[in-house]
Structure 1
Amino acid sequence: MTSPEVDFTRRNPTARPLTDKERDALDEFVDSIHYSSRYNDDHYEYRHVQLPKQMLKKIPKEYFEPSRGTLKLLWEEEWRGLGITQSLGWEHYEVHEPEPHILLFKRPMNYQPPAQH
């Protein structure tokens, strides 16, 4: 299995942080976000994150791809702003199109965060 590459054209040019009002509108959904177990191939570990379907209606339109009607690939600042919490190193690389509330993440096997000085 070869690791999917991240299509950076499917992201906002730069991270678009949520406003306080937008973040407040999403707070009610944070406890309902579901995190899969991790699975892996020889190079990456993966997991998927399932957002409550109703949450999609509260996410700003700038986070969606008009041509697909699904979320764009989100910068870390964006997905963390939605209330997704995971350890460092995860990258949003795909949306499961048949179920657009499911976001796919990957990170290199044995990921070590940069040392803090």
Structure 2
Amino acid sequence: MADPQLANKIEEYIEKIHYSDRYTDDHYEYRHVILPKPLLKFIPKEFFDEKEGTLRLLTEAEWRGIGITQSLGWQHYEVHAPEPHVLLFRRPKNYVPPAQPQQANKPSNARRK
């Protein structure tokens, strides 16, 4: 069973994740996410590059799994070696999320006359 105090501490660190304002160039919008340094010790070892000692590029499922929350379309595209707690993200400028599949219309419960 997980230690409730540890879970509370991790949640406290997650609440302190800093999300920068977005900035753009001709092709992408960017933002950086700054993790509280103590949160790094709770990130799975396989998320780190063994040679560099920094985080490797993470998939969306991985970065969401460590508590980063942001809208769809963001890609972790670069690591900042001097500051491993800073993750750099980008997505295409004017990104439009894919359409959600429509649920099939269910028959109405209205009474028939």
Contact 1:70 1:97 in 2 (8 A): yes
- Is 1:109 aligned to residue 93 of structure 2? yes
1:64 maps to which residue?
A: 48
Q: Distance in 1 between matches of 2:11 and 2:57?
A: 21
Q: Please list every run of 5 or more consecutive structure 2 residues that lacks an aligned counterpart in the other structure.
A: 102-113
Contact 1:56 1:101 in 2 (8 A): yes
2:18 to 34, 46, 61: 34
Q: TM-score, normalised by structure 1?
A: 0.78
- The number of equivalent residue pairs is 97
Identity %: 67
Q: Which has the larger radius of gyration?
A: 2
Q: Distance in 2 between matches of 1:42 and 1:90?
A: 16
Displacement of 1:58 in angstroms is: 1.1
1:91 maps to which residue?
A: 75
Contact 1:35 1:47 in 2 (8 A): yes
2:34 maps to which residue?
A: 50
Q: Distance in 2 between matches of 1:102 and 1:62?
A: 18
Displacement of 1:114 in angstroms is: 0.4
Contact 1:26 1:82 in 2 (8 A): no
- Is 1:82 aligned to residue 66 of structure 2? yes
2:111 maps to which residue?
A: none
Q: Please list every run of 5 or more consecutive structure 1 residues that lacks an aligned counterpart in the other structure.
A: 1-19
